Amino acid sequence: CLVLGIETSCDETSAAVVENGHILKSNLISSQMDVHRRFGGVVPEVASRRHVERVTQIIQQALDEAEVRLTDLSAVTVTQGPGLVGALLIGVSAAKALSFAAGLPLVGVHHIAGHIYASHLVEPLQFPLVALVASGGHTELIYMPDHNRFERLGKTRDDAAGEAFDKVARVLDLPYPGGPHIDRLAKEGIATLDLPRAWLEPDSLDFSFSGLKSAVINLLHNTRQRGEELNKADLAASFQDSVVEVLVEKAIRAAKMKGVSELVLAGGVSANSHLRESLTLRCKEEGLHLRVPPLKLCTDNAAMIAAAGTYRFRDGQLAGLNLNAEPNLSLV
Ligand code: ATP
Ligand code: MG
Ligand code: FE
């Protein structure tokens, strides 16, 4: 079955065609990064306007590139939430219009379910699995006993991992989004600075990154007050080490607690080279099979939405034309 995916939850306008839930036929992504960079973050109103300008063309291009007509499709899937409400609404409206005009079933997809399914486009997922989702807005450990079944084991109590990367990058005067810049800078430094790791209660699978962020800001501030300058590369490396160590160890702990041998990395932060290396190494030591999505599928794209949406569609979880954007949609 051929499924169209539409994703507009944040600052990427994307449309894709996926066959049988895992074969990528096309995946068009139009990023607005350049528009938002000068504001140091995504401006919701600007994002919505950009999505309106791009969404119709992107859908057409995705169909053209896949050499698929609307009548070949089995369903239209779209990110329903979470995300920016105005941005989500553009994708949801486009999907509803298409579904109505072409008489196609409509499926609303959770954005984080999409991130987990990014790996499914490379090699089919095996269940049960534990997914570590680390993105700009989420940091969660999810247990999946089967397709389209999600159970949350832990989540961040404050900032998301990507948010911490972006905020620390900002105090280091690096451009937005800061994650990739910290990644690059950290390669030139040594993690010599002593920064906290928020393990929380023993056995807790929750995360917390705001204390680490404050520790970085205080360290910078205090050194500057002494008239000294910190080595930014060392600071980037130390910060990255702290985030990655906690993410990796909690993901391993979650897999052990659930007795699974499959671990899936997901979300924009999974593009981080240190996280990828460190998790690969630890999974090897622990005898876990790790899936890491290719860089292009780590950040927001519609192919992952179409993949996740295919399994909702197969479970008969269809939406009506009253489908609405849900900025705080919950996965479970
Ligand atoms: P959500 O998926 O939670 O709604 P989002 O869609 O904004 O949030 P993604 O697009 O999945 O998030 O990921 C973007 C985040 O990933 C940003 O915070 C960005 O800094 C971070 N990121 C991207 N590449 C890297 C990297 N190499 N190292 C660390 N962080 C990175
Ligand atoms: Mg994004
Ligand atoms: Fe995302």
pLDDT digits (tens, 9 = 90+) for 213-258: 999 999 999 999 999 999 999 999 999 999 999 999 999 999 999 9
Determine the distance separating the centroid of ligand 1 and the alpha carbon of 177, expressed in angstroms.
8
Check: CB of residue 236 under 8 Å from CB of residue 220: no
Query: 298 CA distance to ligand 1 centroid (A)?
Result: 8
Q: Tell me the CA distances in angstroms from 258 to 129, 236, 282, 323, one per residue in order.
A: 9, 33, 17, 34
Structure confidence by residue, pLDDT tens digits, 81-102: 999 999 999 999 999 999 999 9
CA–CA gap between residue 241 and residue 101 (Å, rounded): 51
Nearest ligand, CA 163: 1
ipTM exceeds 0.95:
yes
In this prediction, residue 34 carries a pLDDT of 85
Atom 12 in ligand 1: which residue has the minimum CA distance? 136
State yes or no: 115 annotated in a binding site: yes
Which pLDDT value is given to residue 283?
A: 98
Name the DSSP letter for residue 148. Answer: T
Nearest residue (CA) to ligand 1, atom 3 = 137
Task: Tell me how long the chain is.
Answer: 332
Mean pLDDT of 311-327: 98
The Å distance, Cα 231 to ligand 1 centre, comes to 25
Probe ligand 1: pick from 248, 299, 331, max atoms within 8 Å of CB? 299
Question: Which residues is 224 bridged to in the sheet?
Answer: none
| pTM confidence score | 0.95
**pLDDT category of residue 123 using cuts at 50, 70 and 90:** very high
Contact at 8 Å (CB) between 92 and 78? Answer: yes
Does pLDDT of 33 surpass 90? no
Cβ(267) – ligand 1 distance below 6 Å: yes
Going from the Cα of 221 to the center of ligand 3, the distance in angstroms, rounded, reads: 32
Residues with Cβ < 8 Å from 202, sequence gap 6 or more?
none
Closest CA to 29 of 324, 295, 291: 295
Average pLDDT for the chain? 97
Pocket test for ligand 1, best of 165, 167, 265 (most atoms within 8 A of CB): 165
End-to-end CA distance of the chain: 26
pLDDT the model gives residue 38: 85
Residue 112 Cα: closest atom of ligand 1: 2
Residue 190 has which token pair? 């040594």
Distance of CA 225 from the midpoint of ligand 3 (Å): 38
Strands (E), 122-186: 129-134, 139-144, 151-155
133 is in an annotated binding site: yes
pLDDT of residue 238: 98
Q: Give the C-alpha distances (Å, rounded to integers) separating 117 from 15, 112, 195, 220.
A: 15, 9, 33, 39
* pLDDT at residue number 40: 84
For residue 117, the one-letter residue type is Y
Burial of 259 (0-12, 13-18, 19+ CB in 10 A): exposed
- pLDDT value of residue 66: 98
- Could you give the C-alpha distances from 52 to 27, 35, 97, 304, in angstroms and in order? 18, 15, 13, 21
pLDDT category at 332 given cuts 50, 70, 90 is confident
Q: Is residue 183 part of an annotated ligand binding site?
A: yes
Query: Who's near 38: CB < 8 A, 6+ residues apart?
Result: none
**What are the pLDDT digits (tens) for 34-81?**
888 888 888 999 999 999 999 999 999 999 999 999 999 999 999 999
CA distances from 86 to 1, 45, 47, 64, 135 (A): 31, 7, 8, 27, 20
Is the beta carbon of 137 within 6 A of some atom in ligand 1? Answer: yes
State pLDDT tens for residues 163-198.
Answer: 999 999 999 999 989 999 999 999 999 999 999 999
Q: What pLDDT does 146 receive?
A: 98
Atom of ligand 1 nearest to the CA of 82: 4
Q: Which residues surround ligand 2, an ion (CB under 5 A)?
A: 10, 300
Looking at residue 54, what is its pLDDT?
97
| Ligand 1 neighbour 110 (Cβ under 6 A) | no
Task: Report how far residue 74's alpha carbon sits from residue 3's, in angstroms, rounded to the nearest whole number.
Answer: 6
Q: DSSP assignment, residue 38?
A: T
